[in-house]
Amino acid sequence: MLIALASLNPSWENKTENLLACGQHFRKAKSLNAELIIFPEMTLTGFSMNIGVTAEEKDSSPTFNSFSELSSKYKIGVVYGVVFRQNLKATNNAIFLNKSGEIIGLYKKIHPFSFSGEDKYFEGGEEILSVSFGSLRIGVTICYDLRFPEIYSALGVTSDLIINIANWPEKRIEHWITLLKARAIENQVFIAGVNRIGNDQNSLDYVRSSIVVKPNGDVLEPKFSIGNLDIFEIDQSFISKLRSQFSTTQDRRPDLYKRIL
């Protein structure tokens, strides 16, 4: 399967402008026969705590309607980030749409980034997400989740590919690369990390670092690149081949881990 990773440089809290940029990425992805396109965390706003501006009602989300139209128009599945209101706070979400623009998965970020104060404005989710898309089973996570291997161990049981959509700054980019590789190696699955670029109103800089890591820890080379869009081929047979040669996941002891964590 061909998947597209869009390293978006979002205009701060400007949903209209960012949606136009996303539409261009859809067109590029379609021209290269991608079946799935993935955008960074909080796709149309950047990583903003201003939930009065960014948050939408889940059941009447303009962002959902826009991505649904793009997905059905180009016949490409999509994973994107959006903020929904929840009581007095909000949730940081990743939405998975199929090629018809229908929702097949909604994931609420389990781990708000307390170091930046995200937990003051956002409620953490309680459920992991893994969905079937084409021939693949795909798990979804968001940014700071990457630092918590337990949810990846759970997703790795049934997933061929686990996605992380992020706003991960340049000053900690070595952590980003290292953790993406670790999550792939320890679970023997493909990991796709989709990060933004540019800079934001928090005076943070971001560098191009969207990658796919193979189940053996090697970074996969893109088949095509156009501007800030990279196309990768996910070969599901690589997983079974690797595990037949060197399998490790069967030696896990989850019952013990539950007792000692």
Give the span between the Cα atoms of 193 and 184, in whole angstroms. 11
Q: Is the Cβ–Cβ distance between 58 and 84 less than 8 Å?
A: yes
- Give, for all 261 residues of the chain, the pLDDT tens digit: 999 999 999 999 999 999 999 999 999 999 999 999 999 999 999 999 999 999 999 999 999 999 999 999 999 999 999 999 999 999 999 999 999 999 999 999 999 999 999 999 999 999 999 999 999 999 999 999 999 999 999 999 999 999 999 999 999 999 999 999 999 999 999 999 999 999 999 999 999 999 999 999 999 999 999 999 999 999 999 999 999 999 999 999 999 999 998
Residue tagged 């997703």 (tokens): 155
Helix and strand totals (H; E) in the chain: 8, 14
Clarify whether 143 is annotated catalytic.
yes
Whether residue 56 lies in the annotated active site: no
- Residue 137 has, within 13 A of its CA and on its CB side, a CA count of 11
Catalytic residue among 22, 143, 181, 214: 143
Query: Annotated catalytic residue: which of 35, 41, 56, 118?
Result: 41
Alpha helices (H) along 84-231:
118-121, 149-156, 173-187
The two three-digit tokens of residue 260, written as one number: 């000692």
> Rounded to an integer, what distance in angstroms lies between the CA atom of residue 118 and that of residue 161?
27
Q: Which residues, at least 6 apart from 23, have a Cβ–Cβ distance to it below 8 Å?
A: 70
Sequence-ordered list of residues with C-beta below 8 angstroms from that of 79, at least 6 positions apart, any chain: 36, 37, 38, 39, 94, 95, 96, 97, 140, 163, 165, 194
Return the pLDDT at 121. 98
Rounded Cα distance, 259 and 57, in Å: 39
Tell me the three state secondary structure of residue 162.
strand
The CATH superfamily holding the domain 2-260 is: Carbon-nitrogen hydrolase (3.60.110.10)
Told to judge if 22 belongs to the known catalytic residues of this protein, a careful annotator would answer: no
Cα distances from 107 to residues 20, 84, 177, 191, 201, in angstroms, run 24, 11, 23, 17, 26
pTM above 0.85, yes or no: yes
Which residue in the list 109, 118, 181, 214 is annotated as catalytic?
A: 109
